[in-house]
Amino acid sequence: MKQPGKIRRTLRRFRKNTDGSYSIETVLILPILIWGMLATYTFVDSYRTQTLNLRATYTISDLLTRQWNPVDGKFITGIGRFYEFLTAAQHPTTVRVSVVYWDEPNNTYQLVWSQVRGVGHPQLQQSDMQAMAPSIPALANADSAIIVETWLKYEPPFNVGLGKSEFFNRVITSPRFVPQLLWSDSNPGDYINDGNHDDGNSYNYGGLDLLAKGTDS
């Protein structure tokens, strides 16, 4: 049996020994280095994509708030294509634009119209307003808001433990120049009227009647 002193000397020699093999050390550390580089690239790319998605959503929302005239199906289809362009999307995307107003007498948000471009997410319905109400800023009676929601499917470039996901963003703003962003059926594009909302040009909400007088100019 070795004495404690011999054990300490053996451990001391082992600690001071600098002999080694580059090939063995490379085989041990290279996979970790490669994984670290790929993981860094993947996580940075995911954050970049989410940031790009958020900025694109704000851009679309700002564009819609500046509209004077009613929008139609062709316009919303263009919004969907614009979103794909802004995000340089290589995977499926979805854009949903909805207009709501606050109905003070009934103490609820009323859905005026909702449009979707893409797949996987339906148009908003009036029955969805109660669940969405906490995310909508407080509005005065009859004031309206534009809700822009976007979904972008993301697939990591490398398998480093980050699975496939879908980035979602929601931006809610008020129209800048008109009381409400109106809907027009003049050019439906690929829009399908589901009959769940009023697409006429005359709206009555909260005791206030607005008549769409937009022109094509």
Contacts of 99 (CB under 8 A, 6+ apart): 111, 112, 113, 114, 144, 145, 146, 147, 180, 181, 183
For residues 69-84, average pLDDT:
92
> Is the pLDDT reported for residue 200 higher than 90?
no
Asked if 177 contacts 33 with a C-beta cutoff of 8 angstroms, the reply is: no
CA-based nearest residue to 136, from 174, 79, 175, 80 = 174
Q: What sign does the CA torsion over 85, 88, 91, 95 have?
A: negative
What pLDDT shows up at residue 14?
73
pLDDT of residue 65: 95
Which tens digits make up the pLDDT trace of 19-58?
666 677 777 888 888 889 999 999 999 999 999 999 999 9
- The pLDDT score that the predictor gives to residue 158 is 87
Nearest alpha carbon to residue 165 among 36, 59, 53: 53
Rounded Cα–Cα distance for residues 164 and 155 (Å): 5
Comparison of pLDDT for 190 and 9, the residue scoring more? 9
> pLDDT band at 209, cuts 50/70/90?
very low
- Whether 147 and 172 have beta carbons less than 8 Å apart is answered as yes
* Residue 113, pLDDT above cutoff 90: yes
Q: In the predicted model, what is the mean pLDDT of the chain?
A: 81
Q: How far is CA 82 from CA 75, 85, 183, in A?
A: 10, 5, 19
More confident residue, 100 or 29: 100
Q: What pLDDT sits at residue 27?
A: 77
Least confident of 66-75, 92-101, 168-177, 188-197: 188-197
Q: Which residues are within 8 A (CB) of 97 and not within 5 positions of it... i.e. 6 or more apart?
A: 60, 64, 76, 79, 114, 115, 146, 147, 148, 149
In single-letter form, the type of residue at position 25 comes to: E
pLDDT of residue 168: 94
Beta bridge partners of 146: 99, 173
pLDDT of residue 167: 92
Domain ranges (residues) in the chain: 22-199
pLDDT-derived band at 211, boundaries 50, 70, 90: very low
Banded model confidence at residue 215, pLDDT cuts 50, 70, 90: very low
Amino acid identity for residue 16 in this structure: K
pLDDT > 70 in the chain, percent? 82
- pLDDT tens figures, 137-193: 999 999 999 999 999 998 888 888 888 889 999 999 999 999 999 998 865 554 333
